Amino acid sequence: NGVILVTGPVGSGKTTTLYASLSRLNNGRDNIMTLEDPVEYGLPGISQTQMDHKVGLTFAATLRSILRQDPNVVMVGEIRDSETAEVAFEFASTGRLALSTLHTNSAAGAITRLR
């Protein structure tokens, strides 16, 4: 349980790391869901949702909708705003696991981005 943030600059393998982590966590018993923009790779046994900006929903609103389906693990492709970060951290505070990425050039930069 908790939050795992993979940080780094563009092209450093953050999404690949998340997908490898989800594949490892996928035991066939847990409800694992993702919210991505876009879905980059299909993962068997994992419910993946692609953001649809045409309908006017934000990442945070779509994430709240996904969380109503009671996942054990959720992956947000990228935390882009404080509201999405807040929803992900609230989810993790209930004893479940949230994974995401932050575009930063250093681990210290992640703390600044989350403020």
Domain that residue 49 falls in: 2-114
pLDDT at 53 > cutoff 90: no
Tell which residue, 23, 12, 29, 2, has the closest CA to residue 102.
12
pLDDT at 57 > cutoff 90: no
> What pLDDT is recorded for position 35?
98
Task: Give the CATH number, domain containing residue 82.
Answer: 3.40.50.300
Give the integer Cα–Cα distance in Å for 55 and 96. Answer: 29
Across the chain, mean pLDDT equals 94
Number of domains in the chain: 1
Q: Are strands 47-50 and 73-76 parallel, antiparallel or unpaired?
A: unpaired
